[in-house]
């Protein structure tokens, strides 16, 4: 299998704090890869190195076939980043935000690109409203739409569902699955185990600056002690109840 991302022996320290202590992993082209870890595990540092925002102290990082440290401009041609906070221009409308990014990616028909993405993300009705009037979920959708302008081959999502309500979270999951179905490689970080379980083809667990386990979900499950059968009454979780009550109103 061809690799979209290769990371070998990456180290990064801020002064005395060693955030990454030799990280290795590979991401296959077209797959969804989840980097799982608690707060402060170094997930954001790793994603900042992969997206050319930060230089590693040591180790080799290749994204889309180019070395991140020596060919950042080439890497930027094939990636996009959706950060932890929705990076949308609040004074511009949703449509203008998309046109802005399309122009900056030097696409031929920015208006058309914007219209298509607005439609795809269910934002056509809100297209000409300022982004500051959007709800959290809409803002996140616009944010992800902005990342897809120009069809980057590798999409980075840094905690894409942190701070979203359950409905918006499921919307984001659906988008990620669709994207992946279209052949895009997706690298996401998350602190929610369920998110990794739902989405990822492969999962790596980052803990105290090292990858302590990685593999498919079933491979990871094998690391767990042999299952023993117990009978437990299944109670619906509050999330399931919440979604059952409100979920039907939008057939998204």
Residue number, 50 or 220, with CB nearest to another protein: 50
If the CB atoms of residues 27 and 131 are measured against another protein, the closer one turns out to be 131
Q: Where are the alpha helices (DSSP H) in the chain?
A: 43-50, 72-78, 94-104, 110-120, 136-148, 166-181, 193-199, 217-222, 238-246
In the complex, least distance from residue 81 CB atom to another protein, rounded to whole angstroms:
4
Rounded to a whole number of angstroms, the minimum distance from the CB of residue 91 to another protein is 5
Q: What is the DSSP letter of 237?
A: P
> Which of 110/170 has CB closer to another protein?
110
Judged by DSSP in three states, 131 sits in helix
Nearer to another protein (CB atom), residue 73 or residue 230? 73
Angstrom distances, CA of residue 17 to CA of 20, 46, 49, 209, 211: 9, 15, 16, 10, 17
Supply the minimum distance, in Å, between the C-beta of residue 167 and another protein: 24
* Cβ proximity of 83 and 162 under 8 Å: no
Residue 150 CB, nearest approach to another protein (Å): 9
Task: Report yes or no: 246 and 167 within 8 Å, Cβ to Cβ.
Answer: yes
| Of 168, 184, 160, nearest in space to 78 by CA | 184
Residue (2 or 233) nearer to another protein, CB: 2
Alpha carbon 93 to its chain centroid, in Å, reads 24
Give the shortest CB-49-to-another protein separation in angstroms: 11
Binding site for another protein (CB under 8 A): 51-55, 73-74, 76-77, 79-81, 83-92, 96, 100-101, 103-106, 146
């Amino acid at each position: 299998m061809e690799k979209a991302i290769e990371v070998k022996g990456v180290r990064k320290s801020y002064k005395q704090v060693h955030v990454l202590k030799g990280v290795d992993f590979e991401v296959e082209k077209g797959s969804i890869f989840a980097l799982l870890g608690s707060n402060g595990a170094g997930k954001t540092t790793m994603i900042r190195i992969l997206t050319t925002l930060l230089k590693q102290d040591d180790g080799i990082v290749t994204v889309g076939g180019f070395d991140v440290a020596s060919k950042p401009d080439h890497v930027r041609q094939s990636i996009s980043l959706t950060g932890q906070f929705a990076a949308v221009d609040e004074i511009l409308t949703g449509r203008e935000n998309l046109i802005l990014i399309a122009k900056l990616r030097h696409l031929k028909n920015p208006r058309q690109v914007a219209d298509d993405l607005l439609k795809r993300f269910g934002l056509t009705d809100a297209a000409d409203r300022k982004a500051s009037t959007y709800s959290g979920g809409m803002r996140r959708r616009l944010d992800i739409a902005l990342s897809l302008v120009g069809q980057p081959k590798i999409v980075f999502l840094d905690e894409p569902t942190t701070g979203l309500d359950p409905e918006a979270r499921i919307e984001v999951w659906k988008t990620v699955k669709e994207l992946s179905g279209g052949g895009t490689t997706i690298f996401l970080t998350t602190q929610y185990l369920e998110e990794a379980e739902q989405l990822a083809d492969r999962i790596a667990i980052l803990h105290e600056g090292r990858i302590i386990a990685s593999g498919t979900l079933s491979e990871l499950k094998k690391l767990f002690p042999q299952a023993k059968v117990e009978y437990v009454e299944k109670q619906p979780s509050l999330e399931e109840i919440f979604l059952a009550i409100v979920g039907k109103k939008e057939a998204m």
